[in-house]
Amino acid sequence: MSFEAPGTRDDWHALAHSLVPESRAFIDDAFVDADSGDTFESRNPATGELLAQVASCDEPDAERAVAAARHAFAGGAWSRLAPGKRKKTLLRLAELMEAHKHELALLDTLDMGKPITSSLGDMAGAIGCIRYQAECIDKLYGEVAPTGEDSLALVLREPIGVVAAIVPWNFPLMMTAWKIAPALAAGNSVILKPSEKSPLSALRLAQLAKEAGLPKGVFQVLPGFGHTVGKALALSMQVDCLAFTGSTAVGKQLMQYAGQSNLKRVYLECGGKSPNLVFADCKDLDQVASHAAAAIFHNQGEVCIAGSRLLVENSIRDDFVERVLKAAEIMQPGDPLDPASFMGAIVDEAQHRRILDYIRQGVEEGARLRSGGQAIDGPGLFIPPTVFDGVTPQMTIGREEIFGPVLAVFGFDSEDEAIAMANDTPYGLAAGLWSQDIDRIMRVTRRLQSGQVFVNNWAGGDQTMPFGGVKQSGNGRDKSHHSLEEYSELKSVWMALAP
């Protein structure tokens, strides 16, 4: 690389022009076309430019990859390797990712439109996750159960077998790392299916994994669609675990596929409609407003934990909404390759249309549009920060996950009302609350139905914290040693001892 991050807009454009992305599948240690020879287009949503024709895998490719993964698992070159040695290989992979982080970040930005600074942040998260899980694996002990002297009882941890990781497009490489790092660290063979909307960084990762020395068949990447190769993996009798991040609707389908096939484990990280509660006792309302705006407009609102429902105590609501509007003014979308852009492009035309449909519905159902609301003229797919006030829990934009830069503001008069409104959703991924009153903070935190609660911040956390949801936001946990435990089986061994 010829520049230091964050680089200039021109640096990034120059690097983009020199990139030739890998577009073939990675199966059994080789880059190959799909068995059918079919491909699909990967386009840059900020310009419409064609980036690559990517191998479109389907059932025969899934079967080949699963057979290679099983063979690798049975062979033991990874699954039975000493944890300390697995750790070394994964740390080497992290080093290689670090050395190529500009290129990896650029692939995500070109593929799905997020700002380059955001992609660089994702790289730090992805690399940090690989390092953390690699470091964990030789520190996680089994157990000796308490027994009498006539026996010795051991609880051993063993890898599960073949894990299929199916991931979304909004944080392509980071979501990938959250799945593959603990699954590989635990000794499993992993087949990754990236989203059809953002496959390129995963294929570059496969090149780096090969260079790092992951044995043949231990890590494979199958680009393609959900209803073809994704479904084939989910229905496979030879896949032992599905690690999924994506929509709740697809999560439900995966549980059915598991039931129709081999009862494979299914870990789900799904959608959200996260409430962000602002109480009137906050000290610095400008700062809170700025965080509340970033909570929804970061990554164009294409974030599972987006703070898409802003619940504000009525006594400060009008004033607070003005401050949010002011903060949102400087969060306009721009060229994703410009490090100064806060927002980038919407991932594709379907998502762009879907967001605009929700905005139209918001207006029709009587919410007050306070900013944005119109697509920005092309060629790229851009939508400005959009704020609706006077939203009620009955309105579609107040209930459904939009996955775009659309904020719904509600008012409340009491703590009980705020909690009831916050929990009135099928989702339970994240919630935020802003207050200076520690008693209130603890009362409200305990009653919020949510996998994570952010107090006087939004989206705080690091590798040490489990990440996941309750209710229809999912049943798994990414990050921390808890995710590592998910990718292993417990084996109970009872040994009878002679007196």
- Sheet of 265-269: strand order equals 30-32, 25-27, 219-221, 189-193, 162-166, 241-245, 265-269
Q: How many CA atoms lie within 13 A of 95 on its CB side?
A: 9
> Closest approach of Cβ 210 to ligand NAD, in Å?
22
Residue whose entry in the numeric block shows the structure tokens 């049943």: 475
Residues 388-407 that bind ligand NAD (CB under 6 A): 401, 403
Q: Which is nearer to ligand NAD, 227 or 491 (CB)?
A: 227
In this structure, are residues 244 and 254 in contact, taking their beta carbons and an 8 Å threshold?
A: yes
Out of 80, 139, 227, 360, name the contact with ligand NAD by CB under 6 A: 227
475 near ligand NAD, rule: CB under 6 A: no
Does residue 385 belong to the site contacting ligand NAD (CB under 6 A)? Answer: no
Q: In the window 404-433, what residues touch ligand NAD (CB under 6 A)? A: 429
Establish whether 269 is a catalytic residue: yes
By C-beta, is 320 or 467 nearer to ligand NAD?
A: 467
Spatial distance between the Cα atoms of 370 and 164, rounded to a whole number of angstroms: 44
Q: How many residues bind ligand NAD (CB under 6 A)?
A: 31
CB 398 within 8 A of CB 428: no
Token readout for 190 is 């992993």
As to burial, measured by CB atoms within 10 angstroms (0-12 exposed, 13-18 middle, 19+ buried), residue 314 is middle
Candidates 186, 234, 395, 402; binder of ligand NAD (CB under 6 A) is 234
**CA dist., res. 23 & res. 31, Å (int):** 9
- Residue type at 241 in one-letter notation: C
Q: Which one, 13 or 227, has the nearer CB to ligand NAD?
A: 227
**Tokens read off for 243:** 């690690």
Residue nearest ligand NAD by beta-carbon distance = 226
Applying CB under 6 A, the span of 165-173, 311-319, 358-366, 489-497 interacting with ligand NAD comes to 165-173
CB 267 within 8 A of CB 355: no
Rounded to a whole number of angstroms, the minimum distance from the CB of residue 257 to ligand NAD is 7
Rounded least distance, CB 469 to ligand NAD, Å: 6
CA distance 481 to 145: 21
Map the footprint of ligand NAD across residues 265-324, applying CB under 6 A: 269-272, 304
**Which of 123, 166, 239, 387 is the binder for ligand NAD (CB under 6 A)?**
166
Cβ pair 207, 22 in contact under 8 A: yes
Q: Which residue of the set 103, 269, 302, 313 is catalytic?
A: 269
Candidates 78-86, 128-136, 406-414, 466-474; binding stretch for ligand NAD (CB under 6 A): 466-474
HEC string of 137-154 equals CCCCCCEEECCCCCEEEE
Which residue among 172, 474, 479, 483 contacts ligand NAD (CB under 6 A)? 474
Check: CB of residue 224 under 8 Å from CB of residue 57. yes
Find the shortest distance in angstroms from Cβ 457 to ligand NAD. Answer: 18
From the CB of residue 335, how many other CB atoms can be counted at a distance below 10 Å? 19
CA–CA gap between residue 42 and residue 445 (Å, rounded): 42
CA 417 to chain centre: 31
| Contact between residue 61 and residue 34 where contact means Cβ atoms under 8 Å apart | yes
Residue 464 beta carbon to ligand NAD: minimum distance, rounded to whole angstroms:
17
Q: Residue 266 in 3-state DSSP?
A: strand
Residues 84-113 that bind ligand NAD (CB under 6 A): none
CB-CB contact of 34 with 57 (8 Å): yes
- Selected binder of ligand NAD within 109, 118, 170, 290 (CB under 6 A): 170
Please tell me whether residue 454 binds ligand NAD under the rule CB under 6 A: no
Which positions from 205 through 224 interact with ligand NAD, judged by CB under 6 A?
none
Site stretch for ligand NAD (CB under 6 A), options 11-19, 84-92, 203-211, 239-247: 239-247
- Tell me the per-residue interface mask from 37 to 66 with ligand NAD, x by CB under 6 A, - otherwise: ------------------------------
Does residue 117 belong to the site contacting ligand NAD (CB under 6 A)?
Answer: no
Nearer to ligand NAD, 267 or 434 (CB): 267
Q: Please give the single-letter amino acid code of residue 478.
A: D
From 144-152, 245-253, 308-316, 452-460, span contacting ligand NAD (CB under 6 A): 245-253
Please say which residue, 115 or 226, places its beta carbon nearer to ligand NAD.
Answer: 226
| Cβ at position 303, least distance to ligand NAD in Å | 7
DSSP secondary structure letter of residue 229: I
Which amino acid, one-letter code, is at 207?
Q
Shortest Å, Cβ 313 to ligand NAD: 27
Q: How far apart are alpha carbons 16 and 116 in whole angstroms?
A: 11
Give the residue among 434, 433, 430, 443 at the shortest CA–CA distance from 473.
Answer: 430
Chain residues in the site for ligand NAD (CB under 6 A) = 166-170, 175, 193, 195-196, 225-227, 230-231, 234, 245-247, 250, 253, 269-272, 304, 401, 403, 429, 469, 473-474
Catalytic residue positions? 269
